[in-house]
Structure 1
Amino acid sequence: MSSTLLIGSCHPFSGKSALVLGLARQAARMGVPVRFGKPLATSLRLDRRPSPGGDGPTAPLIDDDVRFVGAILGLAPDCLLPSLQLLEPATARQRLLQGDLGSGEGFEALRDHLNAPSEGLTLLEASGSLSEGLLYGLSLVQLAHGLDAPVVLVHHWLDSCSIDPLLQARDQLGERLAGVVLNAVDPDAVETLLQEEVPAMERLGLPVFGVLPRSPLLRSVTVEELVERLGAKVLCCPERLDLLVETLSIGAMNVNSAMEFFRRRRNMAVVTGADRTDIQLAALEASTQCLILTGAGDPLSQLINRAEELDVPLLKVEHDTLTTVEVIERAFGNVRLHESVKATYAIRLVEEHCRFERLFERLRLPISA
């Protein structure tokens, strides 16, 4: 008998795909077939978007997150479920003007497909929040009720104030809320959280399946992502844009202080003025993944040559330093999990810190504890 499980969150970029990977890998290792899909697509490359008014057959609408998870897990193409709608301004405007807030025939087909006799576990990733997708009839709460499926929420936990959205979700989902996974927790707070807050949450009807410590790697962003967000010009090493940036440093101090500071950091993006050649050269000798130059002026050829020798991408932006820093800080923790090294780490993190025996029992899966 097939079981369907919704993976949701109260806020975007809370770690849904990471949890999907961890859950799917555990199920697959125990012999349970896995299917995966996102009823509402939120991430789709431009060349994969359906052409409006096209006469030919429409290709299945497979979200980029679904493709990535499928590739990591080695899922067959027929195990990747097409999305029903694409969340973007054009489709949102069309639905708003039509005034039709229903989920449509596609949802009925999905429900029939999930109810058909089959073996295994179907994981469906909902959109970014409790309300996102209401315009399409595909919000988390609508999916849970329409499919009569249990829900696991993954939720960033800062402190006890973080529980409010979970209580709201509990009230909206009722018994369909199977439990939660707390994510991005301060590593020093994990033990206390497990001993004190987690039992209190259980008493409030919020079963906790795991507490995941905060990870700089999972919050990291590729140099390529920074190039896109900043509209930066790549001055050298364009083949190294897949490097992961975990921390941000600003080169605004004297060179001696900068060198000492840089030595304590790892996998940095260093932002500094285009005229600070001393800081730039010092940054290249540290754990720097990319060097971002702001302000007027061009870098010296000496700097470009040294960056090429060390395979460090050198970027030039039109923004001032403050704006550049703000853009980069917004990127951390707000990018999709589309790198294999992150996926491998996420699977291990879920395996080490989550216990799903209660969930698997509810899903009636043939999985031993």
Structure 2
Amino acid sequence: MGRTLMIGSCEPFSGKSAFVLGIARQLLAANQEIRLGKPLATSLEFEVDYEDFSSEKPLIDDDVRFIGETLGLSEQQLIPSLAHLAPASADQRLANSDVNAGSSLDLLRERLDIPFDGINILEAAGSLHEGLVYGLSLGQLARGLNAQVILVHLWQDSCSVDALLAAKEQLGDNLVGIVLNAVNPDDVQALQSSLVPSLEALGFRVLGVMPRSPLLRSVTVGELVRRLEARILCCSERVELMVETLSIGAMSVNSAMEFFRKRRNMAVVTGADRTDIQLAALEASTQCLILTGAGEPLLQLIHRAEELEVPLLKVDHDTLSTVEVIEQAFGHVRLHEAVKASYAFRLVEEHCDLNRLFSTLGILSKSPKHC
């Protein structure tokens, strides 16, 4: 069956997948055999027939598949999910009064109970309670599988420790370490020297302090097109560009130019009638230009956007609604781009204590191999 390591969090989108990707690569480099899975899938590329799972292909979560492809894992190293987090599947569980951990845990043990001398890395649901209706919450799985748990925790300030204390109370000895994530880069050193010793005194083993990354929070132009239901007016082949920041073109053109110069990899939202702002945005670090309101852009603008290869989008929403959709997207998208994967590798390698992590897992680092 091998050993089981669970990566959990106190709230969704805390950086679990990036950490799983980074630590899985380090384990492979240390000549460790691994399998990956997410017991409760949150993203699937195909529709699920909730009446009959057996008629479908194995439920491999998109994050698991992406990590597996990135690391060159075989299909046999990807552990199928037991359920899909969706209203329809939750409705079915409730209708059948099937809210317990027994059946789910038995099936998962069966899938894990094959000859395997390595580590099963399982990514838990988004929060401590998410998945209870499926019998697949972090606590249920940790106890049922006797798994070691590492929490990836979003850190804002000292009040963030409340959620960690609640997690420690729920998980008990299964909690073997925490990784603080999305820390203000200017605060990393101070936090390591002053706060980490206090957390250790409270019984937390701090395995890493990772700074906030605009890149990992970024979203592709294509994802914005999907969320905004936008029309692409030009450069449809450039939707893979990454957007890290948002700017609103609602000021004078002189003020806008000064503001745009300070930003990088922007999505600029402005009215369709503000040609002056639009042209100024195209000369800055703009990844896409999003036009709101009535009217169509001038041909001059479209031609300039084509020259600079900046996607030009038109939406039916007003500016405020458009901005709300984009802000919701930042930090709430999946880790499905190669550039993010490369950064996740570096983030874990540079900001996590790998020797302590391996020691915590009872692993002796061996001669690294190419990975």
Scaled by the length of structure 2, the TM-score of the pair is 0.95
Secondary structure in 2 aligned to 1:154? strand
Partner of 1:184: 182
- Compute the displacement of 1:350 (Å): 0.5
Cα deviation digits, residues 167-213 of structure 1 (max 9, x gap): 10000000100110000000110011001111100111111000001
- Compute the displacement of 1:34 (Å): 1.3
Secondary structure in 2 aligned to 1:319? coil
Count of aligned pairs between the two proteins: 367
Partner of 1:144: 142
Partner of 1:219: 217
Cα deviation digits, residues 196-240 of structure 1 (max 9, x gap): 111100111111000001111111111111112212111111111
Q: What is the CA–CA distance in structure 1 between the aligned matches of 2:106 and 2:50, rounded to whole Å?
A: 23
Matches within 5 A, 1:76-225: 76-103=74-101, 105-225=103-223
* CA RMSD after TM alignment: 1.6
Residue 331 of structure 2 is aligned with which of 330, 333, 338? 333
- Residues 101 and 140 in structure 2, CA contact (< 8 A), matched pair in contact too: no
Matches within 5 A, 1:156-305: 156-305=154-303
Partner of 1:353: 351
Secondary structure in 2 aligned to 1:258? helix
Structure 1 pair 368–194 and aligned structure 2 pair: CA distance change class (3 A): farther
Q: What amino acid sits opposite 1:228 in the alignment?
A: R
Q: What amino acid sits opposite 1:5 in the alignment?
A: L
Cα deviation digits, residues 318-351 of structure 1 (max 9, x gap): 1111121121111111111111100110111100
Gaps of 5+ in 2: none
Partner of 1:7: 7
- Compute the displacement of 1:254 (Å): 1.3
- Residues 40 and 133 in structure 1, CA contact (< 8 A), matched pair in contact too: yes
Residue 307 of structure 1 is aligned with which of 305, 309, 317? 305
Secondary structure in 2 aligned to 1:26? helix
- Residues 31 and 366 in structure 2, CA contact (< 8 A), matched pair in contact too: no
Partner of 1:37: 37
- Residues 3 and 364 in structure 1, CA contact (< 8 A), matched pair in contact too: no
Scaled by the length of structure 1, the TM-score of the pair is 0.96
- Residues 268 and 281 in structure 2, CA contact (< 8 A), matched pair in contact too: yes
- Compute the displacement of 1:356 (Å): 3.2
Deviates more, 1:358-367 or 1:230-239: 358-367
Secondary structure in 1 aligned to 2:257? helix
Residue 321 of structure 2 is aligned with which of 320, 323, 329? 323
- Residues 270 and 291 in structure 2, CA contact (< 8 A), matched pair in contact too: yes
Deviates more, 1:223-232 or 1:193-202: 223-232
Q: What amino acid sits opposite 1:232 in the alignment?
A: A
- Compute the displacement of 1:357 (Å): 2.9
Structure 1 pair 53–133 and aligned structure 2 pair: CA distance change class (3 A): closer
- Compute the displacement of 1:365 (Å): 2.4
- Compute the displacement of 1:80 (Å): 0.4
- Residues 198 and 208 in structure 1, CA contact (< 8 A), matched pair in contact too: yes
- Compute the displacement of 1:100 (Å): 1.3
Cα deviation digits, residues 85-140 of structure 1 (max 9, x gap): 11111111111122111245453132144344422211000010000000000000
Secondary structure in 1 aligned to 2:323? helix
Q: Sequence identity of aligned pairs in percent?
A: 65
Q: What is the CA–CA distance in structure 2 between the aligned matches of 1:115 and 1:147, rounded to whole Å?
A: 11
- Residues 178 and 359 in structure 1, CA contact (< 8 A), matched pair in contact too: no
Q: What is the CA–CA distance in structure 2 between the aligned matches of 1:90 and 1:113, rounded to whole Å?
A: 24
Q: What amino acid sits opposite 1:211 in the alignment?
A: V
Q: What amino acid sits opposite 2:11 in the alignment?
A: H
Secondary structure in 2 aligned to 1:102? coil
Secondary structure in 2 aligned to 1:292? strand
Q: What amino acid sits opposite 1:292 in the alignment?
A: I
Partner of 2:67: 69
Cα deviation digits, residues 284-312 of structure 1 (max 9, x gap): 11110000011111111111111111111
Q: What is the CA–CA distance in structure 2 between the aligned matches of 1:135 and 1:39, rounded to whole Å?
A: 13
Q: What is the CA–CA distance in structure 2 between the aligned matches of 1:245 and 1:131, rounded to whole Å?
A: 32
Structure 1 pair 134–56 and aligned structure 2 pair: CA distance change class (3 A): closer
Gaps of 5+ in 1: none
- Residues 242 and 287 in structure 2, CA contact (< 8 A), matched pair in contact too: yes
- Residues 4 and 114 in structure 1, CA contact (< 8 A), matched pair in contact too: no
Q: What is the CA–CA distance in structure 1 between the aligned matches of 2:6 and 2:186, rounded to whole Å?
A: 30
Q: What amino acid sits opposite 1:367 in the alignment?
A: S
Q: What amino acid sits opposite 1:203 in the alignment?
A: A
Q: What is the CA–CA distance in structure 2 between the aligned matches of 1:164 and 1:348, rounded to whole Å?
A: 29
- Residues 224 and 241 in structure 1, CA contact (< 8 A), matched pair in contact too: yes
Secondary structure in 1 aligned to 2:7? strand
- Residues 3 and 365 in structure 1, CA contact (< 8 A), matched pair in contact too: no
